[in-house]
Structure 1
Amino acid sequence: MKFRRNAPIAIILAIVIIIAGSAFISSRLFSGMTDAVEADQFRLMGAIVETAIRDAENKALARAELLADLPSVQKLLAAGDRTGLEAELARMFANQKARHGVDQAQFHIPPATSFLRLHDPKTFGDDLSAFRPMVVAVNRDRVPLKGAAVARSGPAIFGVAPVFDQGGKHLGSVEIGIDYGPLLAGLKTAYGIDLALFIEEASLKQYAQGVDPERMGEQNRVGRYIRFESTNAQLMAELAGAEDVAVVNEPVRYVRDAQGLVRGVLLLPVNSSSGTPLGVIAATSDFSASRAAVNRSLIWQAVITLIAIVFLSGFVLIVLRGFVLRPLQVLGQRFDTVSAGEPLAPIVGSETFPREMQPFVALYDKIRSRRSEADKAP
């Protein structure tokens, strides 16, 4: 083995391995931090959507209970005065619809027969028992309930409250439905999140008879779902396809490129108050900043790693050649002349040799001095 060739190679290889290994560990640590940041972003998206839905449920139920407690409403419902009830509440409903996204308001008589739809007064008398279990439960158990449901006018977030007269006699129930559209649009405005609501097509066709047929056209069909609401239909079509929303029984997270940006996508199941699956809410946020930070970090780590390897390798070569290999070469050459019996010249610059080599310099000088004295002797 040649020390002059193999020693620098071994040392430089060790430098490369150590620095590259350190850079890899550093990149993994940074990647882990980025994953944690994105996980927090997913959790924040989920919290925002779930909080908004719970808030809408509470608002719907609060409005329903407020109507149920109005003496005038109780009297009109007890009297079966549909026209009077509509006249009493029409202005209120119009204001709630315009300002607060209240899309549906309906009174029922037990067990679940529609008495008056303020959003569609001409349609009444139909039995809701087959597809409105929440209404059935409220009239059966006489306790308020809230949650998502697919009604004749489409999916909404409902609050249903029982109605009693002043003597405590159960008269029926009243429900308030808050539309998903304004809710999703408000979240986009407030938080910059794009969202879409997917509802099972079979449920819509069977129960949502009052929905505009164009909303259930081919352009909105996604597998067995209809993209019923969306803050950005083109973007959500790229991010949430038929395979993505096919089975969502619990929150699903993934990251995907769309429209030149890296987007984080969160899928949340939409269930009725009884736990029956109705559809999926998809929420997406821009993850480009965190991904760009990772890419910049990898580039800088690669540059720094390369510079460090080049610098340390050069330093090792200079040290080895200047302080070890060159003195050894010079000493080797001088001792070769000794063994060959050739004239011995002094070692120029030997004072710069490492201290550990000075004994060899001194030995050479002693040999050279003795040979010089022997050459002078008669």
Structure 2
Amino acid sequence: MNASTPEHAVIAPTPVDSRRITRHALRAAGAVMALTLGLMLLLAHRALDALQAQDRRTEMAAIDRALSVSMERAARFALGQAEALARQPALAPLLRRGDRAALQAQTQATYDYLSTQAGVSVLGFHTADLRYLLRMHRQDAPVDDIAAARPMVLAARRSGQPQSGVEVGVSGIVGVRGVAVLREAGQVVGTAEVGVDLLPLLEDIRTTTNAEVAVVVSRALSGLDPAPGGLQVTVGDLTLAAATDTALFGRLLREERLPPGLGHEQTELQLDGRRHALAVQPLVDYSGRQIGSVLALRDRAAHDTLRQRSRVELALAALCGGLLAWAALRALCGLALRPPRAGDEAGAQA
């Protein structure tokens, strides 16, 4: 033992720098608050993105259902009108005899009403040997053989059962058709056809859902070319058969090159510098065979603006909350470390 150090000397404790400890504590508390607020902000952003994605899926699923229901209703309507024609006793003998003039006179008033009030674009009669005897929508058209070009009519003739659904017609126009069988004395004498075009159906969908809709036909799947005309947008195997916005879907086909066999799908894509939600469903003809796809595009720019604004608002709220919490913590620590005043000391001693 060192002789200069007393045996029972007491070493005084080092004074504690409370202000230094407080500064370290403040830094640690600030770091914890920043990490907590950052984590909460991240989780809020993820929740916001999840809600936006769920909203998109729900919205596009509703459009998908609306498209399916619209097609089914149009098919039932077309078939119902064709069946009503087939049940008029006066028409079967005229069709059996091939009396175009009498058939036209008998059905002119019906066609005029349906075409102007119900959106019917096709009404006609086919003979038992599969010749298109009379087109009320094209009364100057010749009597021609449709055995190879109209599989729906051929199926109705062979089975003796009505047919309805989507079909690519002789002229290449895609529409919803209903074909009913006409009989005389139990024998099939021909068929009656009623049809509606796709474009009015798509326009109705756009009105109710605010989505742009289009029908694309695959030549490989359908075996037929859609009609040339104003649309005339063909990319690879796909041809735009009907669309509420021809230019928009033309750019989509050129830029995305959608595969012809695309089934039910929902996705997002950039088009014209804007984000769009895309819903795709198969276009199925009367026989259940896929002949193309139905596309629905919904502009998501408004949703993006709302999401961005919500993110900014969340960030500002987190920043303001963090600053207020930091200021309150500093104030509390300052009060705790404030040296006692003389009056306070005198009172404590008393």
Find the partner of 1:271 among 257, 273, 284: 284
User: Is the Cα–Cα contact under 8 Å of residues 264 and 284 in structure 1 kept in the other structure?
Assistant: yes
Task: Give the Cα–Cα distance (whole angstroms) in 1 for the partners of residues 159 and 223 of structure 2.
Answer: 29
Residues 86-125 of structure 1 aligned to structure 2 (within 5 Å)? 86-110=104-128, 112-121=130-139, 122-125=141-144
Find the partner of 2:258 among 245, 266, 269: 245
Decide whether aligned partners of structure 1 residues 119 and 203 sit closer, same or farther in structure 2, where only a CA change above 3 A counts: farther
Q: What is the letter of the counterpart of residue 162 of structure 2? A: P
Counterpart for residue 359 of structure 1? none
Q: Which has the higher helix share?
A: 1
Counterpart for residue 126 of structure 1? 145
Task: Give the Cα–Cα distance (whole angstroms) in 2 for the partners of residues 350 and 278 of structure 1.
Answer: 95
2:87 is the counterpart of 1:69: yes
Residues paired across the two proteins, number: 329
Decide whether aligned partners of structure 1 residues 147 and 13 sit closer, same or farther in structure 2, where only a CA change above 3 A counts: same
Query: 1:335-374, CA deviations, whole angstroms, 9 ceiling, x for partnerless residues?
Result: xxxxxxxxxxxx645949xxxxxxxxx9xx9xxxxxxxxx
Q: What is the letter of the counterpart of residue 265 of structure 2? A: V
Decide whether aligned partners of structure 1 residues 225 and 350 sit closer, same or farther in structure 2, where only a CA change above 3 A counts: farther
SS at match of 1:156: strand
Counterpart for residue 295 of structure 1? 308
Decide whether aligned partners of structure 1 residues 35 and 205 sit closer, same or farther in structure 2, where only a CA change above 3 A counts: closer
SS at match of 1:214: coil
Counterpart for residue 26 of structure 1? 44
Deviates more, 1:33-42 or 1:60-69: 33-42
2:197 is the counterpart of 1:179: yes
Identity, in percent, stands at: 23
Counterpart for residue 167 of structure 2? 149
User: Under a length normalisation based on structure 1, what TM-score does the superposition of the two structures give?
Assistant: 0.76
Decide whether aligned partners of structure 1 residues 306 and 216 sit closer, same or farther in structure 2, where only a CA change above 3 A counts: closer
How far did 1:279 drift? 1.9
How far did 1:139 drift? 1.4
Q: What is the letter of the counterpart of residue 68 of structure 2? A: E
Q: What is the letter of the counterpart of residue 214 of structure 1? A: G
Find the partner of 2:181 among 145, 156, 162: 162
Task: Give the Cα–Cα distance (whole angstroms) in 2 for the partners of residues 179 and 161 of structure 1.
Answer: 18
Stretches of structure 1 that go unaligned for 5 or more consecutive residues are 328-346, 353-361, 366-378
Stretches of structure 2 that go unaligned for 5 or more consecutive residues are 1-16
Residues 191-270 of structure 1 aligned to structure 2 (within 5 Å)? 191-201=209-219, 206=224, 211=227, 213-215=228-230, 217=232, 220-241=233-254, 243=256, 245-258=258-271, 262-270=275-283
Q: What is the letter of the counterpart of residue 157 of structure 1? A: V
Decide whether aligned partners of structure 1 residues 98 and 207 sit closer, same or farther in structure 2, where only a CA change above 3 A counts: farther
How far did 1:163 drift? 1.1
User: Is the Cα–Cα contact under 8 Å of residues 264 and 279 in structure 2 kept in the other structure?
Assistant: yes
Alignment RMSD (CA, Å): 3.0
User: Is the Cα–Cα contact under 8 Å of residues 134 and 145 in structure 1 kept in the other structure?
Assistant: yes
Q: Which has the larger radius of gyration?
A: 1
User: Is the Cα–Cα contact under 8 Å of residues 101 and 183 in structure 1 kept in the other structure?
Assistant: no
Query: 1:85-112, CA deviations, whole angstroms, 9 ceiling, x for partnerless residues?
Result: 2332244324423332222223223464
User: Under a length normalisation based on structure 2, what TM-score does the superposition of the two structures give?
Assistant: 0.82
How far did 1:216 drift? 6.1
How far did 1:190 drift? 4.3
How far did 1:204 drift? 8.4
